[in-house]
Structure 1
Amino acid sequence: MKTLFIDCGISGIAGDMSLAAFSEIGVDLSIIENKLKSIIKEEFSLSTKKVVKKGIASTQLIIKTEEEKHSHRHYSHIKKLIEDSGLDEAEKNIALKIFETIAIAESKIHNSTIEKVHFHEVGGVDSMIDIIGTAIAFHTLKIEKVICSPVATGNGYITIAHGLYPVPAPATLEILKDIPLQKTEVKGELTTPTGAAIIRTIVNEFSNIPSMVVQKIGYGAGTKDFPSHPNVTRFILGEV
């Protein structure tokens, strides 16, 4: 069985780290970029660069866009864009499920409804690329099962559009309910709402690495650097 093991027990997971890791295990980002441009009308470019995080060679996703950093869209707007797109049905379903997961969490946190939820960080072009791109990448590899380690979330506080929030952010924690978390002393956000929603959507089982024949390994790098560990998410693709 073609299986993906997601190792996010050291440095969590974010949308850009996910898509970068997928690029290291065989996904062609140029194909993903072309598909994304049929959905996202704003100008953007998608590329990667090789970086070294605490001694580990990894890939970092580079997104260039003229959109303002704190631009936001309503969930209903993003939903319609995906539904009306030319993506494969499986790609649409995965992307819609990830956004819906975030919308449900945000609506609960802010005492709103899914229809009225508007995304701040998650509604920008970069996050749309992370989420929809990950959905396309996952479908492209025809993965049959996904197993994930307990999730590292981080500690401390982070400043977002709403102000100073605890880590894990409320939406992240809401999404990760019933999912095993990994204790860490790291101060800072390791897992984002986007990363948590990706995990919630595509993972079938949470455990340590299974007995498997490893075929490909991908390291997706985050933008931050930590003194204690490499800021990477590891994707291991193989047969179980």
Structure 2
Amino acid sequence: MANVPPAPAASYTTSTGLPYAGTPSYDQMPPAAAPGYAPAQPGMPVGAPYGATAAEPPINMPWYGIDFVNAIKRFFIKYATFSGRASRGEFWWVMLFLFLVSFVFNMLTRASSFFNVLSAIWGLAILVPQIALAVRRVHDANLPGGWVALPYGIEVLGALVMTFSTISAVTSGLSGSSGGVGGGMAGILIGSLIMLAGAVTAIVLFAKQSDPQGARFDARQ
């Protein structure tokens, strides 16, 4: 029987058309053909494998797959930057950081009233960057920055209702009017529900998925 030459090994090419030299093992795709972690979006690194830390994009672009430490750094670097976009990671890592700092301040103020002053200063210091981050987050969802006023407006309305209801309840209690006290307590409950609605609205709004069309809010270079 004549010698039959062995069949050539299957060849693979990368997405750029260049040949792939390796031979894939059973049920395994060539590395160049493996799908990325997420679909490409403006400012999103392409081809980063699942679970890997994404490469840092330019400071004027959103960072998809950002970690906790870098999210905090960007929060302060982009202190008053209202243009551009922020990924969900950039936003929610910072929210976790601010919650932890607030929790620490609450613990410290029980030990000394001095920390009340520091807490107030801290609250003022993060007011502008927090609003700027919220604006960039809704930009990433392809929404105008004015949407940020929706959850904050609901929260303020609820706080006002609770404040006036509390004053009414206290005043009625001092004057001996049981009806006024009942009405004040009902107002406090309504105000609490309004504030809860504001919190839910904020979660839904700031958790919206990134939309590549949000690139229209990026600063023009």
TM-score, normalised by the number of residues in structure 2:
0.23
Rg larger for: 2
